[in-house]
Structure 1
Amino acid sequence: MHTTPTYLVAGTLTLRPWSPEDSAELARLYQDEALRRWTSEAVHDEAGAARWVAAQRRGREAGDRFAFAVEEAPEGVPGETRAPGAGARLVGNVVLKYAARGSGSAEVGYWTAAHARGRGVAPRALGALADWAFTAFAHEGLTRLELLHQVDNTASCRVAEKAGFTQAGILPAAPPAFPLEGHAHVRHAPPAA
């Protein structure tokens, strides 16, 4: 089980486990209407953010949900040259949802803070997450990752494509949580060397 903190680096981005100290900033980021529209989590204030962070910790401890805060280093400072959190700005979240361990398949999700959209943060973070997942869970036979989104979220189609996911199908609507059809994008593990 992967209960110890894992830090991933993708250029100027660092992916790290969420911590209670992130709650105030998380609550601030969730004031963004677009973020609230596309995510299923309800974070309305700092107390709600603290509950969300605690749920991410429990998922990591249970080994079925690995959420990472995505931080961006100051311009010109590669992520690998600094300590996690040092001078970085929170720019998003990526998550591996691996409830059906041993099934060969897992789901990924993400969101990007308003101030970081349009700069390639999500594709880079998702790419790092996918690479990590295929390596960390190869011994369990993980070979397929799915990214699901509502059909009217065209930005997620672009993110999926840039992160190496191909569109694999249409999902039926499931109101009230998912009132419209959705897209399923898939990325497969690279062939074993």
Structure 2
Amino acid sequence: MVEVSRDPALRQWGSSVVGNDADGARWVQAHQQGWAAGDRFGFAVFEAQPGSAREELMGNVVLKEVTAGKPAAEVGYWTAAHARGRGVASRALEALTGWAFDTFTALGLERLELLHQVDNLASCRVAQKSRYEFETILPAAPPAFPREGHLHIRRTSA
């Protein structure tokens, strides 16, 4: 995580930066707490290394703000610099989307929301490839969103 977080693009677009081992431990702990609370579900994306038992961290996807009876939840993702341009984010997002709808539709989940800053063109492409339809432009909301953003939505019927 520390090595992946050194990427300037990830620092620009990401909401949490892992600068050292202690930050990494806090990041993992936050994900564990989300799973325990049942409202935030993060998944690491790995790729097996040919001829080795090792796996390489490629990215992360997360389902957040899950609440029984609430029709919407949010998705997020990031991709390590060495994995970009290979369809990692869209494949991982598609897997997360299917899992979210399979798991939470019976609890009232109807749609997933994907937010990104308007100038994050790569995230816009991932949203489109993953069948998240553009909904609207959102106003800036510093500090997390210092610029306007796009809201993309995927409904259970998509």
Matching of residues 136-151 of structure 1 within 5 Å: 136-151=103-118
Determine the structure 2 residue equivalent to 1:54.
29
> Once structures 1 and 2 are overlaid, which stretch shifts more, 59-68 or 36-45?
36-45
User: Which one of the candidate residues 39, 51, 73 is aligned to 2:14?
Assistant: 39
Q: Distance in 2 between matches of 1:27 and 1:182?
A: 27
Amino acid at match of 1:30: S
Contact 2:135-2:152 within 8 A present in 1 as well: yes
- Partner SS for 1:167: strand
Q: Distance in 2 between matches of 1:100 and 1:148?
A: 18
Moved over 6 A (4+): none
Contact 2:58-2:82 within 8 A present in 1 as well: yes
Q: Distance in 1 between matches of 2:99 and 2:144?
A: 30
* Normalised TM-score (structure 1): 0.77
Q: Distance in 2 between matches of 1:89 and 1:164?
A: 27
Contact 2:68-2:108 within 8 A present in 1 as well: no
Deviations 1:42-67 (A, max 9, x none): 31111101111000000010000000
Structure 1: gaps of 5 or more residues: 1-25, 78-85
Deviations 1:102-159 (A, max 9, x none): 2111000000000000000000000000000000112102110000000010110000
After TM superposition, give the deviation of residue 98 of structure 1 in Å: 2.6
RMSD (Å) for aligned C-alpha atoms? 1.6
> What is the identity percentage for the equivalent residue pairs of Structure 1 and Structure 2?
59
Structure 2: gaps of 5 or more residues: none
